[in-house]
Every structure is written in C-alpha cells, then in structure tokens.
A and B are shown apart, each in its own frame.
Chain A
Amino acid sequence: MKKILEVSNLNKRFKTGGAFLKKRGEVVALSDVSFTLYSKETVGVIGESGSGKSTLAFVLAGLYERDQGEILFKDNDLSVLYKKDLRVRREIQIVFQDPYNTLNPRYTVFDTLREPLLVHNIVPRKKIRDEVLKTLDVVGLRPDYLFKYPHELSGGERQRIAIARAVILKPELLICDEPTSNLDLSIQAQILNLLLQIKREENLSMIFITHDISVASFISDRIIVLYEGSIIEEGKSADILDNPQKDYTKALLKASAL
C-alpha cells in the first residue's frame, strides 16, 4: 500500500500566560506523535478533550506550525511544501466541527464553493458554475441552494456545504475534526454516509477525529488513541475495540458504553 502521510516524532507546545501578573508556562499539546496513513485508508483519532486531537488536525492542515518532528506527505516534507508548493493546500483539506462558524455569513453557497476554485485556479472560469453544481449534487443538495446564505441553512446542510467546499478541490487527504458532534443523530447518519460515499468515489484518505467511540468504530479502518498529547495505542479498529491493551483505552471504552 502507498503511504500518503508519515508522521514521526511530532511535537507541539503552546505558550501560556505572560499576561499581566501571570507566569509564563508551556502546555504540551503533542509529544512524540508518530503514525502512518496509507492511501484510501481512514484513521480515527479518539481521546478526551485536551488530548491534542484538534491540535493534530491543525498541524496536519498547516494551520499550526510544528515545533519538532517530521511530517512527510507523499514522501515530501509537509512544512516545506506548505511554504513553497501551494498545491499541497489543495491536496489536504479540512472539515471543522462547527458548521455555524466556518462559513462566511456574507457569502452565498455559490460564493463559498467558488472561492477555492478561483484561488487554486484548477477549473476554467466558464466551467466553475458546472463544477459547483456537480459538487452540490455530490453532497446531496439541490441546485436551488446555490444562492442561499448560511443563516438560511440547517446545521446538517451547513456541514454539507463545508464538506463540499473541501471536496470540490479533489483533495487526497481529508481531515475531519469532529464533523458530526454538533448534529442530531439522524443528520449525523446522513453526514457519515456522505463522507464514506465520497471517500469511496474519490479515493480519499481520511483522518477522522472524534470523541464518540461508536462513530469512530463505524467509520475508521484503524484507530489511534491519544492521551495528553501522545499516542498510547494504535491498531485496527476491531483490535482496539475488542481487545484494548492499555488501561486508559479500556477505561475510555468502558465509560463510553451505556
């Protein structure tokens, strides 16, 4: 299998304090995180809040700079790519947790979806409208959504637009940072099915961050368990769920089962 992403000894620290009368300190968000993502694979990242899940997503998407360690994206150093070769920004896309804040309130759906195409200049201008319509269809929205504003859409529809905005660029790696945790069960099912379907059709690799074990078990091929910034267990989904080795994983699974 082809490796698409290889992360080794990734570290990320945040400085805290430094304001009036407050001591400076450091929070270790990621320490020595190493894992590999193969092409067309979905890796689920689980852990409690504060375990560094989202930091990992942000570093991989180039929204934070790493402190130490190496990230290879298709055998090239990602941090170099992010500075020099902007194509990589097309190849790695991210879907955030909160569909309410990630869409520009003054952009219509069409504007939102047109923007990435214009920035990356991958479709001739005349074809942009067709491309947008095609992607809307992929995420299951009718063409009459084209000129709606985010406030006219429901949570599930907004998340569909956020997904459409990511997949319109035909990325190779899609990072999903808790895309369904704000949504109702019935909408969650629709979004998860949609992501799986897109993944199959477009040959995507996916990193899926969630704190919901049942979601992780449904969508991922492999699972990584993060705790206080380090990976404490990694393996095939079935192995982790049926036969967890570490006490923390066991506790996490037990606490999540009702």
Chain B
Amino acid sequence: MKSLEIKGLNIDFKKRNSFISVVQGLDLDILESEIVGIAGESGSGKTVSTLALADLLPEGNSRISYKSYKIKSNNVDRKQIPYFRGRLISYIFQDPIPSLDPMFTIRYQLKEILKVGSRKEVDDKMIDKLLLDVGLKDRERVLSSYPHQLSGGMAQRVAIAFALGSNSKILVADEPTTALDAHIKKGILDLLKKIRDQRGLSIFFISHDLEQTFYIADRVYIFYAGSVVEYAKSSVIKEKPLHPYTRALLDCIPKRGVDELKQIRGKSPDFGDLPKGCLFYPRCTFAMDICQKKRPPLIEVKKGHFLRCFKEKI
C-alpha cells in the first residue's frame, strides 16, 4: 500500500518581489517499507521537495501547492500536515550534530522523544533497545554524552534513533552519509536497510551519490532542475539508464585506469531563467530541435520506467 502520495507539487520561492518556480508538477509516492532514492545535483530540488512533505519550508518566502496529498490513500487536509512532523514523518540530515540539542545529554533527549512517540512512561529498557537497534554498542557512554562528544558516525546513529523513537512511519534521510567517512557510510546504509526490514519503515533516501542510491534504494527518482527526469526500479536504472542526464551523472563517477572523466558541460540552469524547452537541453549531448521548443512530458517507456525525454519516443 502506498504510505504517502503527493501529486502535482509546485514550490515557488520569493525572490525580491516575485516568486520563482523551483519545483514544477512533481509526483512522488512511496510504498510501505520501501526505500525510495532521490538523486540529483545540488539545487535540483531534492531537499526542498521532501521538506514540503511536512510543510517545513519558511512561510511567507515560499509557496507550496499540490493537487492531492494522500497518506495511506486518505486525502489529507493542508492544516493537518504540520502535525505529521516527528509523528508520521521524521527527518535526518546531512550533519547530525546541529540536529541534536547541545545543552542536554543524549539520554535526556531520547527520553523526551520516546515519551512523545510512545505516549507512556519510558523505562531504560526502551532506550537500550533503541540504541541496540541503531547499532550503538557502548550504550552508557553514548547516553551520558553531550552531542559534541560524539563522533560523526555515532551522532548520525543517534539521530536515526531519535527518528525511530518518535515512531514515525516515514523517514526522510537527507544526504545522511555525505559528512561521513567513506568506510562509515556503508554501515549507515546497512543500518537504514535493516531498520526498514525490522520496522516496515518507508524511507526517502536523498543523495547526490548514485552508487549509494543504487545500493540502498528499491526505486530511484532522478531530479534535474526541480523536476523528475527519470524514475524506475533502481536495478533497472543501474543496468540501463535512459535519460542522457542520468547517463552523464553515472559517467562522472571516478574510475580507475581512465585518463579523463567524462563531465557534463555547462551548469544547472538558473531557476529565474529556465530554458523554454527541455530543461537539460543546453547541456545534453543528444539534443534535437524539438528539445529546444517543447518541454518533454514524463512518459512510461517500459512498465514502471518513466522518462522525460523525446529521444526514446522516436
């Protein structure tokens, strides 16, 4: 069953006196106990779109609109969404330490969260179990620590414990491994997978690293300049990426024995001045005349494989 579904999401940001469109007509959904990867460069709207799911964008400076927002196939009123924060949807961010309160020990903060999440008295057993679940072995030390005393990997595990403690059904992991060392990354990815299996959690995994996304996600959305250019099962995209942008991104991964990496020419478009046709047109190596004039729609080229490109149609 779909645990969350949003259709036709538009996000505008205020710049001086006008609004510029940052996310256009985005459809996003996630099944129960599914990991959905969201990949793209910085500024492609990955974070903004997922923040909008819990109405976390600054009021006044941003405008969010959508056609429908469903939780488990039930329509949700816009006013209810703020109550989802920390109850239905939890977030973990790139840098875990600022998301923990520096003035309180981990024990105090965990207790507080568990109290809200479980609505009953919290005993040490619950805390112990939670820490065990996120793979923190040195429990006493972690619990009596303040956030600054934790290493990056430990802090990220604590942040995950916080998200779990609140009993959320959907976890948004926004580049949770970017600030960590290469060899700790895999541990965090495996942990997220394990939690998904144990608790039936739905996870949005946001990353600019395609290798990680393919490793962890069941389904992958590729974002470019505020819209989805391709989405399919992660094994499908990994085997046979169709969109020129996805291919170009994959070519950017450093490899051995190559004299020069392929790179994407130009840079991401300015949101105030988006190209009229395909958003990727100015940087695309396969660009055709039609790409300049018309913006391609997102079409299903094979079952479950959606693509926003004219190339496949012809």
* Residues of A contacting B260 in the complex (Cβ-Cβ under 8 angstroms): 193, 196-197
Assess whether B56 is interfacial by the CB under 8 Å rule: no
Within B7-44, the residues touching A (CB, 8 Å) are: 41-42
Contact A212 B249 (CB under 8 A): no
- A218/B187 in contact, CB under 8 A: no
Given known pairs A185-B209, A193-B261, A193-B263, the reply for A255 and B183 (CB within 8 Å) is: yes
Q: A154-B267, A218-B254, A237-B256 are in contact. Are A213 and B261 (CB under 8 A)?
A: no
Known contacts A189-B262, A196-B260, A255-B183; A214/B208 CB under 8 A? no
- Taken together as a complex, chains A and B put the C-alpha atoms of A144 and B260 apart, in Å, by 27
Please tell me if the beta carbons of B256 and A241 are within 8 angstroms of each other in the complex: yes
Contact pattern, B 196-220, Cβ under 8 Å of A = 1, otherwise 0: 0000000000001111101100000
Q: A255 to B185: give the CA distance in the assembly, Å.
A: 8
Measured in the bound complex, the distance between the Cα atoms of B256 and A224 in whole Å is 16
Shortest beta-carbon distance from B55 to chain A in Å: 27
Residues of B near A186 (CB, < 8 A) are 41, 248-249, 252, 263-264
Residue B253 lies at the interface, judged by CB distance under 8 Å to chain A = yes
Q: Closest Cβ of chain B: how far from A195's Cβ, in Å?
A: 11
Contact A48 B183 (CB under 8 A): yes
Q: How far is the CA of A150 from the CA of B255 in the complex (A)?
A: 31
Contacting pair A256 B254 (CB below 8 A): no
- A residues contacting the other copy or chain, number (CB 8 A): 32
Partner of A184, one of B41, B152, B189, B211: B41
Q: Chain A residue with minimal CB distance to B256? A: A217
Q: How far is the CA of A218 from the CA of B256 in the complex (A)?
A: 5
CA distance A243 to B256 in the complex (A): 15
Query: Is B186 an interface residue when CB atoms closer than 8 A count as contact?
Result: yes
Indicate with 1 or 0, residue by residue over B136-152, a CB within 8 angstroms of chain A CB atoms: 00000000000000001
The answer to whether the Cβ of A116 comes within 8 Å of any Cβ in the partner chain is: no
Assess whether B42 is in contact with A185, with CB atoms less than 8 Å apart. no
Complex CA–CA separation, A159 to B293 (angstroms): 35
Neighbouring A residues of B41 by C-beta, 8 Å: 184-187
Within 8 A of A (CB), among B224-283: 248-249, 251-256, 258-264, 267
- Measured between beta carbons, the chain B residues less than 8 angstroms from A48 are 181-184
Q: Please state if A184 and B208 are interface contacts (CB–CB under 8 Å).
A: yes
The complex places the Cα of A214 from the Cα of B253 at a distance, in Å, of 8
Nearest CB of chain A from residue B163's CB, rounded to whole Å: 23
Shortest CB distance B19–A (Å) = 22
Contact B42 A155 (CB under 8 A): yes
A79 interfacial by beta-carbon distance below 8 Å: no
CA distance A88 to B296 in the complex (A): 56
Q: Which residue of B lies closest to A157 (CB)?
A: B267
| A218 & B261 in contact (Cβ 8 Å cutoff) | yes
Chain A residues whose C-beta falls within 8 Å of the C-beta of B267 in the assembled complex: 154, 156
A227-258 near B? 1/0 per residue, CB < 8 Å: 00000000001100100000000011001101
Given contacts A184-B41, A258-B211, contact A189 B254 (CB under 8 A): yes
Q: Given A184-B41, A184-B208, do A49 and B181 touch, yes or no (CB 8 Å)?
A: yes
Q: Which 5 A-B pairs have the closest CB atoms?
A: A255-B183, A218-B254, A189-B252, A258-B215, A189-B261
Task: Give B residues with C-beta under 8 Å from A.
Answer: 41-42, 152, 181-187, 189, 208-212, 214-215, 248-249, 251-256, 258-264, 267
